[in-house]
Every structure is written in structure tokens, then in C-alpha cells.
Amino acid sequence: MSGSRSCVLALRRADVLIGVWLGVWLGAWLIAAGAAPALAQLVLPGAVAPTPEGTVATGQKKKSVGGEMGAAAGPAIMPKAPTEDTIIGKTLKRDGENGAIEFSRNGSELQVAKLTLAGDNLKRSGEACRVEAPGAPLKLTPRDSDTGLRRYQISFPACAFTFDILDGAIIVTNEGKVCEFKEAGCRVDPEGLWGMGADEFDPKKSEEMLGARARVEKAVRGNFRELYERLKKEKAEKAIRNFIVKEQAGFSSWREEICRSYARESDFGYCALRLTEARAIALGAQLAKGVKLPAGVAEEAAAEEKAKDAKK
């Protein structure tokens, strides 16, 4: 494992250097642009619901380059979104060890064959509890998404949630809400990455996984630079430019928040790899289709500009 540990340390050092460089560059840009210092909540990947109609900055379409993350001839790539086939027949676990979800097909429709949620006991604080979702298989409804990923909402009234399909995993969102099953005395938070279980990781593949993440990080940086330069060249609205800069600056902290509790993350970086792949896909989608602002962002930017003009 000495080789994988060296790789982990190298990736962490690279993260620090990249973070410093990106922080300095973005900080200078934000000051020059007059953007608000507080970071917006990261929208990608895994926004909870279809993004409402908003401002769109259209861009020239990019061709899809292969199916392998990071494989590209140019500075920017449009990776292909993972399909439902990558999760069918697998048992995905939240954080690699809590709860489980299994998918199957009914004809051409994806469905949840089994769902077990893990949470905290309402009567005995600190004690774990489990809830088996009744009525399986559970229906899934496709939802629109601007992330470039395939999105579904689960038909489970007691704890309905939305997820995006990653490569052999899903990222679940529930608008920050927890689900309470009073009869079972259990409180559940389904949000997070559901993927490989802790017992599935192969020590022989740790370096390969960490190396894959390094390649995807490079793809993310290339896609962001390409997107920023394109918006700059097209003289896109200031609100759109500010939005993508804040979104990119907030990605690392969002990823850390999601992945800090994933099983064996320090050795394999599995969670970070999957979320970084999703980020590369999301940036590729923005390159191909343009940037759509979430509801309220354009209005807030307009109000800020109006306030600044009033002070002049």
C-alpha cells in the first residue's frame, strides 16, 4: 500500500497547489468583477429538481470525445453521461456502508428493486436504525437536468428523493430534508453518494483509481477554462460569468463535504473520483448547451447592479 499512499499524498499536494492557484485567480477575478464574496450553493451535480427557466448563454456545440474520462485531444471534452446499465444488478451503499439500493428493469423502464435506508433511532439517540421500503419494486420518474446526467425521482411518499446516475453510483439529493418514519422510530437522511461497498475495494487498484481522478481533474480544469474564455469572448452577461466562477470555486468544498464520510476514501478516493467525473460532465453540458442560471440568480444580480448604480 506504500505506492497508493504516495499517490494519495501526491494528489493531496496537487489539490493544495491547484486550490491555491485557483483561489488566487478566482479571487482576483471576483474582485475585479465586483462579485459578492460569499459562494453560491453549488448547483452541480445533483440539483434537487429540474432547473427553472432562466437566462441562457448559448455556446458552440462540442463533439463528444470517447467514453473514457480524461481522454481528449483538446483542452476541453464533453464526456458521455453514464447510462442506467452501470447501476443495474449492483448493490449501492450510501457512503459505502449505510443502507442499500438495487435497481432493475421492467421492460425499458428503470425501477428500484430494493431499498433499505439507514438512520438514527428517534427514541434512543446515537443508536442506528434501518427501514425497509415497502411496496418494491418502486417506480422511478425521469426528470429534466442541466447537469448532463440522467436524473430520476423515486416514487416513495415517505421519503421521495431525486438522484443523478454516475458511473456505477448515484448522487442523491433531498433538498436538505430528512425523512422520519415514526412507526419505525427512525430518522433518515438519504443524501450523499451511493456506490461501492467498503468490502468491494481492491487494494491492487487503489493507484489506478487515484490516477484516474488526476486525469479527470485535468479535464475539469480544461473544461472550465474553455467555458470561461468562451463566455468572455461572447461577452456574456456579467451574472452568468460570476455564476460559473462561484460554482467552480465552490466545487472542491462541496465534494469534500459529500466525501468526507465515504468508506476508505483516504486510500481510494472513490467518492471524489465519481463527483469529479460528474463535474466534468456538467461543464461539458454547459459548453454544449450554454449556461442556465437557477431561478433568482439573475434577479439578484440585477438588484445588485441597480444598487451600485444608485450609489454613484
Chain segment 188-217, per-residue pLDDT in tens: 999 999 999 999 999 999 999 999 999 999
Chain segment 58-102, per-residue pLDDT in tens: 444 443 333 333 333 345 666 789 999 999 999 999 999 999 999
Sorted by sequence, the CB contacts under 8 Å of residue 85 that are 6+ apart come out as none
Taking residues 4-30, report their average pLDDT.
46
- Please name the amino acid found at residue 120: D
Q: Taking each helix axis from N to C terminus, what angle separates 238-259 and 2-33, rounded to the nearest 10 degrees? A: 150
Question: Strand pairing partners for 110?
Answer: 105
Confidence of residue 47 (pLDDT cuts 50, 70, 90): very low
Classified as helix, coil or strand, 72 is coil
Taking residues 31-36, report their average pLDDT.
42
Out of 149, 175, 199, a domain closes at 199
Q: Are residues 47 and 75 in the same domain?
A: yes
Q: Are residues 156 and 230 in the same domain?
A: no
What pLDDT does residue 189 have? 95
What pLDDT does residue 126 have? 87
Sorted by sequence, the CB contacts under 8 Å of residue 173 that are 6+ apart come out as 46, 47, 48, 161, 162, 163, 191
Instruction: Report pTM.
Output: 0.76
Domain range for 242: 2-80+201-311
Q: Are residues 121 and 160 in the same domain?
A: yes
- Cα 248 to Cα 200: distance, rounded to the nearest angstrom: 31
Q: Are residues 93 and 237 in the same domain?
A: no
Higher pLDDT, 19 or 225: 225
Classified as helix, coil or strand, 272 is helix
Chain segment 109-143, per-residue pLDDT in tens: 999 999 999 999 999 988 999 999 999 999 999 99
- Distances from the Cα of 82 to the Cαs of 190, 219, 228, 251, in angstroms? 21, 16, 25, 20
- Cα 284 to Cα 275: distance, rounded to the nearest angstrom: 14
Q: Are residues 205 and 75 in the same domain?
A: yes
Q: How many domains does the chain have?
A: 2
- Asked if residues 190 and 173 have their Cβ atoms less than 8 Å apart, the reply is no
Average pLDDT taken over every residue of the chain? 80
Q: Are residues 91 and 179 in the same domain?
A: yes
- Cα 310 to Cα 305: distance, rounded to the nearest angstrom: 9
Q: Are residues 206 and 256 in the same domain?
A: yes
What pLDDT does residue 175 have? 85
Q: Would you list the DSSP string of 102-168?
A: EEEEETTEEEEEEEEEEEEESSSTT-EEEEEPTTPSEEEEEE--SSSS-EEEE--GGG--EEEEETT
Q: Are residues 160 and 294 in the same domain?
A: no
Q: Are residues 302 and 241 in the same domain?
A: yes
Neighbours of 144 (CB within 10 A): 8
Phi, psi of 143 (to 5 degrees): -125, 150
- Distances from the Cα of 286 to the Cαs of 35, 153, 165, 178, 184, in angstroms? 21, 23, 18, 31, 43
- Cα 28 to Cα 218: distance, rounded to the nearest angstrom: 22
Out of 199, 214, 248, a domain closes at 199
Q: Are residues 128 and 188 in the same domain?
A: yes
Classified as helix, coil or strand, 234 is coil
What pLDDT does residue 300 have? 76
Q: Are residues 16 and 164 in the same domain?
A: no
What pLDDT does residue 306 have? 72
- Cα 86 to Cα 221: distance, rounded to the nearest angstrom: 26
Chain segment 216-272, per-residue pLDDT in tens: 999 999 999 999 999 999 888 888 999 999 999 999 999 999 999 999 999 999 999
Q: Is 285's pLDDT higher than 80? A: yes
Confidence of residue 152 (pLDDT cuts 50, 70, 90): very high
What pLDDT does residue 78 have? 64
